[in-house]
Each structure stands twice: as structure tokens, then as C-alpha cells.
Structure 1
Amino acid sequence: MTFGRLAWIIAAAIFILIVNIGLSIVYMVVYGYLINPGQTESVYQEHVKIAAPYCSIVFGIPLFYFVCRWISGKWEKSFSVKAALAVWIVYAVIDLTVILANFGDLTLWLSYLVLISLSTKLISAYFGGVSASAKSRRLT
């Protein structure tokens, strides 16, 4: 793997992280202004602890599929799935590092959500890579 490919893969993973966090923030703004307005800040802080893992799962599935499909389509079809899985690996390393740094004592509930989140993202990344590989075959 060349430095250029690695840079694109790392950038794609960081892009997914930023967009996923941004979409969670948008959800909380909608929740705070439209769904449950007028509460104290502590209510919203407690809600985001519960909602953020679910937002990551729901928003992460299409994000991974489309970003991995795009990034995998940049190279030859033999590298498509590898590139998509590499994006997932970089994302997973960053995500797990942040989670373990912030939640040293993971609860069983949070552990399940992390497992579901990373699993669904892995499946989405894989299918994004497969889709890019099939697309490149159609174009050649």
C-alpha cells in the first residue's frame, strides 16, 4: 500500500468520524428545540449519553457504505474491498481508543452497543467495497 492510498484511507475514516459526530449534534439540536424543548441542560446531557451510540449506528451505516464505495472506486477492483476494510480498521482503532479513554469502565450495555456499531459499520464498509468493485467491472 502506497503512502497516497494510506492517506486517502485515513482521511476517509476521519471524515466519517467527523460527519457522524456532526449528525449526532444535529439530532441533539432537533431533540432540544423540537422534540423536548425547555428542559435543563442536565436532561440533555443525560439524553445524549443514551442517544449518541444509537445515532452512531443509524448514521454510520449509510456513511460507511457510501464513503467506502467512493473511496474503493478510486483504485483497481482488486483493491476495492481491501480499501473499504482498511477504512473500517482505521475508524475502529480511533473509535475504540476514544471510547476506552472516556469510558474506562464499559458497562455491558455500552459494550453491546459498541459491538453492534462496529459490526454494522464493518458490514456496510464491506458492501461499499463490493459495490465499488462491481461498478468498476461494469465500467471496464
Structure 2
Amino acid sequence: MLARRGVFNNGDCDQAVCKQQECVPPMPLMPPDCAPAQVSAGQAWQAVAGACNCHGKGVGTALIFKDGPSFRDSMVGVPSSMATIDIVTAGDVDRSYLLFKLLNQQTNVVGGGGNPMPIGKVLTEGQLCTVIEWVRSGAN
């Protein structure tokens, strides 16, 4: 595939990542090796609830995670305020910005950036796999 050359700002490459003034296909998510599982929104929320200090208090954020349904409703099919992909795209880990943020791979997405999440904490592989498998299994 030939790279496009030209002006490179957020969105100029459509669904590609701009690196050194060239557009390359979006970088795929590089998750841990997780066993396939059916995971509910409640289970995914429980996996991260203790680490999400910024989301749940209702201060300074549009994402409020007080339970499984609010966790799902505030992210699935919701455009990211930064990246060119939704916060969570049900069934598609490579189109779910949340996962890139949790794995500190947010700069692999057009428009992505900022700190990894959760800020100041690192989720265990088990917690990460729970959220990843929630997305893979349909984010219900």
C-alpha cells in the first residue's frame, strides 16, 4: 500500500495514523493474550471500578461509571472527544478507544493522546482481559 503524503492533521488520513508525514493503516491494538469469554457490562465495570477515580464522582467528566449499565451506556457507540473512533465499538477491539487508553496505546489512533487510563494506576492482566473480552463479546 502506498502512503498518502500531504497535510497531516487529525482526521486528514481518515482511518489511518499519520507518522512522519505519511499515512499508514491504523495500528491494531496489541492486547494481552486473553481467553475468549462472554463478559457482561457489570463484570467489565467491576473489573475497573476501583481504579476509575475520575469517572464515578460526577466531577469534570461526561463519563460517569456508577454501575454496569452506566458503564455501557456512556461508552458503546459514543464518539470519543479526542480520537476518530468510538470510545467502545461493540465486537471490535481495534475500533474501541477505551482499550487503547487502558493499554497505553492511545497514540496509535488518529487524534488519540493524553495519559493512559486509569491515571496513576495499572490494571492487572485479568482486569484488562475482562474489559477486552467484554468488547469482543458484544459490549452488552
Above 0.5 in TM-score?
A: no
- RCO comparison, higher one (Cα < 8 Å, 6+): 1
Structure showing the higher strand proportion among its residues: 2
What is the TM-score of this pair, normalised by structure 2?
0.28
Q: Which has the larger Rg?
A: 1
Tell me which protein shows more helix as a share of its residues. 1
| TM-score, normalised via structure 1 length | 0.28
